[in-house]
Amino acid sequence: MKFCEVAMPKFKLFLALASGFWLTLCPATAHASSEGDSIPAAAPDPQIVAALKAVSPQRIQQTIEKLVSFHSRHTLSSDVPAATGKGINAAAEWIGSEFESYSKACGGCLEIKTDEFTQEPGTRIPKPTKLTNVYAILHGSDAANASRIFLVTGHYDSRNTETNDAVGASPGANDDGSGTAVSLECARVLSKYKFPATIIFLTVAGEEQGLYGSAHFAKMAKAQNWNIEAVLNNDIVGGDRTPGSTTQDPHTVRVFSEGIPATATEAELKLIRALGGENAGASRQLARYIAGISKEYLPAKEFHPLVVFRKDRYLRGGDHTSFNEQGFAAVRFTEYRENYDHQHQNVRTENGVEYGDLPKFVDFDYAANVARVNAATLASLASAPAPPAKVRVLTKGLQNDSTLVWEASPGGMATGYLVLWRDTGAPDWEHAQAFGNVTQATMPVSKDNVVFAVQTTDAKGHRSLPVVPAPER
């Protein structure tokens, strides 16, 4: 092992991780090797392994079929009483009752809430319209970490060919019954466990009319100073399986993320341009984290995320953007290949082609794998210590070494830190160096040649999101 040997040979302390990796913990301000190690795999957490095993394609199928049974979940159907069993109000009530049933099974561990408001007329909203976001909170079990929030969301509203047709059937099995089902399934399996930080399972309305539900929710979170560390938006994650089609990849889910934060100030943009930070925003870090966690918990051959360096698909948008616009790290999950005959289309057959977003085109095993990636990410992050604060790289003089400083991770769960780095052209982290409970590290690697980040770790191998340093003179 190379770690710390030059500067501090007497202080070598080895930590065996269950995965078989050996890391050396270096004492404060130790010099590190220029090569570091490949990124060490964390030991899978048995609690998370058990939660993922409980994810059920059958439950996801039942959820999607139930959502479809409301005939339409169009946002503009919110004047149809829930008692009719049709329309978006009936769907919202059912989602709430489903959260209640999960909570009952865990001794009332979930707090179920609605965020109801009247959306004033705007694009695709012809008259004042009631919107209801439905969500469940699994409060963190550790007082010092419960204010940290991780959130998973899907939109439960649906649409067909005509944007404002609130009457015609719009089953929305894939778009976005599948994302709603992922949020619910994560709630069902994760509510059986306790996590130090808080997880919110959200389902929003108004997406198809213009992201109205998520925008309202994200603004509320910002106004109330919620400490949301990550948002996972699932939209069209049903893995469309059109009979006869050979172009779908049932092993891959795309993860879209913004590279430059939507809320970057002029001064921040100037720094991003100067230092090549276009690929280093917090949402992009979250996307990389998801890919890493997925590798630890799911056999990559069976299922893996494809990290796309793009905020969203061409001409499309989604609820993660609402969170980005309030300054939160947020990504979007979407199936590998969409079938546009099965989204935003009236249910019909024309020239032998079946149109419409029906459950029969959803691959429930695929959606279950997407739920597993989401649950593994949420559980890993909610088990991990908070990221280090105020991470900086010192730029006082012209030096080839790089000194990183940070403030200790708040919340008392940190036992160490990982300094990560990669070539500026590399898509993902390439090297890591483990340190103990220190707040400074000097790396014999030029900051001009690489991108650094610092990540908090705990004794069980949980890791926070990495934080890229800001320059400090």
CB neighbour list of residue 441: distance below 8 Å, 6 or more residues apart: 26, 29, 30, 32, 403, 404, 417, 419, 433, 435, 454
**CB of 235 or CB of 363, closer to Zn ion:** 235
CB of 248 to Zn ion, least distance (A): 18
* Cα 395 to chain centroid, rounded: 33
- In one-letter notation, the amino acid at residue 17 is L
CB of 21 to Zn ion, least distance (A): 40
Any idea what DSSP says for residue 26? B
Q: How far apart are CA 433 and CA 443, in angstroms?
A: 9
**CB of 59 or CB of 73, closer to Zn ion:** 73
CB of 358 to Zn ion, least distance (A): 15
Q: Does residue 240 have a cis bond before it (omega within 30 degrees)?
A: no
Residues that bind Zn ion (CB under 5 A): 175-176, 235
Q: Residues for the chain: how many in total?
A: 473
Is residue 262 exposed (0-12), middle (13-18) or buried (19+ Cβ within 10 Å)? middle
Is residue 473 exposed (0-12), middle (13-18) or buried (19+ Cβ within 10 Å)? exposed
Q: Give DSSP secondary structure letters for 349-378.
A: EETTEEES--GGG--HHHHHHHHHHHHHHH
CA dihedral of residues 403, 406, 409, 412 (deg, nearest 10) = 90
**Residue pair 138/323 in contact by the 8 Å Cβ criterion:** no
**CB of 176 or CB of 325, closer to Zn ion:** 176
CB of 422 to Zn ion, least distance (A): 33
CB of 343 to Zn ion, least distance (A): 8
The helix (H) or strand (E) run that includes residue 101 is: helix 87-105
**CB of 344 or CB of 463, closer to Zn ion:** 344
**CB of 234 or CB of 326, closer to Zn ion:** 234
Question: In 3D, which of 50, 44, 53, 46 has the Cα closest to residue 19?
Answer: 44
Q: How far apart are CA 22 and CA 44, in angstroms?
A: 15
Q: How far apart are CA 216 and CA 204, in angstroms?
A: 10
* Cα 416 to chain centroid, rounded: 24
Coil vs helix vs strand at 84:
helix
Q: How far apart are CA 75 and CA 109, in angstroms?
A: 30
CB of 321 to Zn ion, least distance (A): 12
Q: Give DSSP secondary structure letters for 230-275.
A: EEEEE-S-S----TT-----TTEEEEEE-SS-TT--HHHHHHHHHH
Query: What residues pair up with 305 in beta bridges, in sequence order?
Result: 253
